[in-house]
Structure 1
Amino acid sequence: MIHNRALLTGEHVKQISKGVTLKHGRWICSQCHSTRQSHFYQYRSVILDKKIVYCRNCVNIGRVDNMNDVFLIETHNVKSSCHYQLPFELSEQQQFASKKIVTAIAHLRSLLLHAVTGAGKTEMIFEGIKYARNEGLNIAIVSPRVDVVIEVSMRIKKAFVDEDIDVLHQSSQQQFDGHFVIATVHQLYRFKQHFDLIIVDEVDAFPLSVDPTLMQTLVHASKFKHCHILMTATPPRVLMRQIKHLEVIALPARFHRYPLPVPRFQFLKINPHKKQYKLLKYLQQQIEQQRYTLVFFNNIDVMKRLFHLYKNEVPSLTYVYSDDALRFDKIERLRRGDHQIVFTTTILERGFTMAYLDVLILNSHLFEANAIVQIAGRVGRKAEAPTGLVLCMHEGITLPMLQARHSIKKMNKLAQKRGWID
């Protein structure tokens, strides 16, 4: 979908319509397909002497209204040789999943991969990507989180060096023809009946998990006959009810054949106004042992207060959260090893991989089970450092904490039963 006619070159226009239309007394957005009337804002244009209605739900990727046309371009398919480079062999579990994915794509049949964190999901889809592009299928690999999109795009572009890959998020622009796209889910608003294959990483992540219009975006961006590969380590019950018709593939092992780190529980009541010896000692020990540490908070104000308390005691300490203007720079510096200790919100619970990493969850009694599982999944993801510490500091053990630990132990037991971990 294109907003500006001047951007059209040799494309064939399939359909022209207003960005916002009125049908049966209700406004409908041509871009995000929202029909929720609270999403539409109306005002009177003094210059045009007309009522202007625009959609606020998708305004971040381009405003559409009832006055201006949008142009739907005819989609087309182009085959590619699509070779990839992988400097290691897939594990037995990864090969099993890869074959399942290729079969699903070949038959345009959707499925859910319930794969533990660190299972090597990205590498599992490589053969499926190659098959799809060899057949000329248009593919999109999407995630609700921009951090995940950036992480995944770096790994895929490194493997598929000869492919024209569009990476689309809030800070990037489309460069190629959209046959191979890696993007945040919101960017799919731009595409209509275009993709034969959509792979959704972290399908349970916010905001996809709570926004019905985003889930519908997957459908609107897909052709009538399509394949959706949904991937997550923590499928919520709501999602499982929605997709109960799909085949579910359980993948309980990490690619390096080491078990998932099991969270340890330790009592500590956090005081945001006073340094606490137990916490300070732990952070200093992490530095002495040359381990990198993510310290997770559920409250930004508490995180900032503790940062100012400990910043003089802990070398190169920093913090990061979703609205941090230096967020991406800080994460890149963490990857380079410039920071050994980072205070963070759940913005880093997904899509972050680093060797020699441990995690500490402060006030873990306030976290949901899925969040604890995802945070624990940051540890031990690299083959050169497959173990690590997951420490939950709490004011009382809660049911979600126990559920998270039980879920991790259950996956380890299943992986051992299948012979996929040592």
Structure 2
Amino acid sequence: MKCPRCKNENKLYFYEDTKGIYCRKCIRFGKVYVNQHIVSPQVYKPKIQTKIHLDYELSDVQKDAIQKVELLYEHHNKVLVYAACGAGKTEITLQQIQQHLKDGKKVGYAIARRQVVIELAERLAQAFPGVNVIKVCGGYTNVIDGDLIVCTTHQLYRYHKCFDLLVLDEMDAFPFANNEVLQQLAINACCGKMLLLSATPEAQHFQEVKDGYMGQVSIFERPHKHPLIKPKIFRLPSILQYVFCFLCVMRHKGKWIIFLPKISQVELLEKICRRFIRCRSISSMTTDKDELMAQFNNGDFQIVFATTILERGITIKGVHVAILHGEHVVYTKASLIQMIGRVGRKFDAPTGYAYIFCKRKTKEIEACKKEIIMMNKKAKHV
């Protein structure tokens, strides 16, 4: 037996009712029976003539990466764009998106987290004036078809064999990473080419490249040509981590994201610190994340205490980052790189400060620092 949707063959996940045998591994996306044929939905595929509109010039490195992607697609259906945080990997997708829309082909842009879908849809709508860019995620499922679909990876179950081009952004992020069901939904949704984007690809992606199943383009230079921020690491007892962290906040004025591993920690710090400083907390339990981030971006408060929910997909001008309890198991090399990658992303704010406070240096912390140094060297930043 095999599930026609998630391709599960484990007998423990199958159950029989009066209509037949169905799969429980992917049942959250609706009941699918073993002998059922999944029908691709009817989607609108007009030929769309549109020009890419950007308020800035692409760098020579970005232009070179775009050409390499084009060449790799002559021999591969999948291409990995391995790009440093803030290197402009979204811009590298624009020419492929434009070409597919011009040819009357369907384009999907999938990313793991809802907050990023909302921001990304706005960016793509600005880049393609006149194109109907729709977002499909929690709270936005009334309209599910448009010229260009931006969705969470969970929503890909709606688009079986629909996308001639599927851009899969941050495919190493939770909850997509190591989730066999979501990964199969992405495969099912794509009937043409796939473009994978990440600053922190996993070993399996590099192995696919090595084995010749996927092409790879690397881009480590940020458009403003400033290096990635190297984190300063301090080994301290827990209580001193908080003391030194707030000394850094007082010393370096500006916006701060202070990462902590637990929801209870971010909520407690907000309760304590709101008495003497403008701050808020954001975690998976926060119901008004979008509004809070807009307020933070506007400078309504100085500090956000956050879990790893803010490690990816956000760009805040002039932000600094501090990571507390850096030895915690929740912090992987990838998450540390992503958190530090929030700093220095803007042309008019290309620098900043990043700190990791920990009781001990873990392999993940050392690997994070080593990879950032490697990226700066390859981008010719010493």
CA contact (8 A) 2:5 2:188 kept: no
CA contact (8 A) 2:266 2:282 kept: no
Shift of 1:302: 2.4
Q: SS at the partner of 1:79?
A: coil
Structure 1 segment 393-412 matched on structure 2, within 5 A: 393-412=357-376
Aligned counterpart, 1:240 = 206
Q: SS at the partner of 1:250?
A: strand
CA contact (8 A) 1:258 1:386 kept: yes
CA contact (8 A) 2:40 2:162 kept: no
1:364 matched to 2:331: no
* Cα distance change on mapping 1:153 and 1:365 into 2, 3 Å: same
**Of residues 3, 25, 31 in structure 2, which corresponds to 1:64?**
31
Question: 1: CA distance between counterparts of 2:315 and 2:113?
Answer: 15
Aligned counterpart, 1:182 = 150
Structure 1 segment 83-122 matched on structure 2, within 5 A: 83-104=51-72, 109-122=77-90
378-387 or 243-252, which deviates more: 243-252
Aligned counterpart, 1:328 = 290
**Of residues 107, 122, 138 in structure 2, which corresponds to 1:154?**
122
**Of residues 219, 224, 241 in structure 1, which corresponds to 2:187?**
219
Question: 1: CA distance between counterparts of 2:38 and 2:79?
Answer: 33
Quote the RMSD (CA, aligned, Å): 2.8
CA shift digits 1:265-290 (9 cap, x unpaired): 1233223xx9954333333334xx2x
CA shift digits 1:104-128 (9 cap, x unpaired): 4576632111100000111121122
AA paired with 1:241?
Q
Aligned counterpart, 2:351 = 387
Question: 1: CA distance between counterparts of 2:97 and 2:335?
Answer: 29
* Cα distance change on mapping 1:318 and 1:41 into 2, 3 Å: farther
* Cα distance change on mapping 1:108 and 1:132 into 2, 3 Å: farther
Aligned counterpart, 1:373 = 337
CA contact (8 A) 2:209 2:216 kept: no
Question: 2: CA distance between counterparts of 1:242 and 1:180?
Answer: 28
Give aligned pairs, total: 377
Q: SS at the partner of 1:397?
A: coil
Question: 1: CA distance between counterparts of 2:354 and 2:15?
Answer: 47
* Cα distance change on mapping 1:370 and 1:177 into 2, 3 Å: closer
Shift of 1:91: 0.2
Aligned counterpart, 1:279 = 245
* Cα distance change on mapping 1:86 and 1:52 into 2, 3 Å: same
Q: SS at the partner of 1:283?
A: helix
CA contact (8 A) 1:252 1:412 kept: yes
**Of residues 140, 164, 184 in structure 1, which corresponds to 2:108?**
140
1:299 matched to 2:266: no
**Of residues 300, 303, 308 in structure 2, which corresponds to 1:338?**
300
Shift of 1:178: 4.3
Shift of 1:319: 0.5
Gaps of at least 5 residues in structure 1 are 1-23, 44-49
Shift of 1:230: 0.6
Percent identity reads 28
Aligned counterpart, 1:170 = 138
CA contact (8 A) 2:343 2:354 kept: yes
Question: 2: CA distance between counterparts of 1:60 and 1:384?
Answer: 44
Q: Rg larger in 1 or in 2? A: 1
Q: SS at the partner of 2:149?
A: strand
* Cα distance change on mapping 1:410 and 1:175 into 2, 3 Å: same
* Cα distance change on mapping 1:58 and 1:131 into 2, 3 Å: same
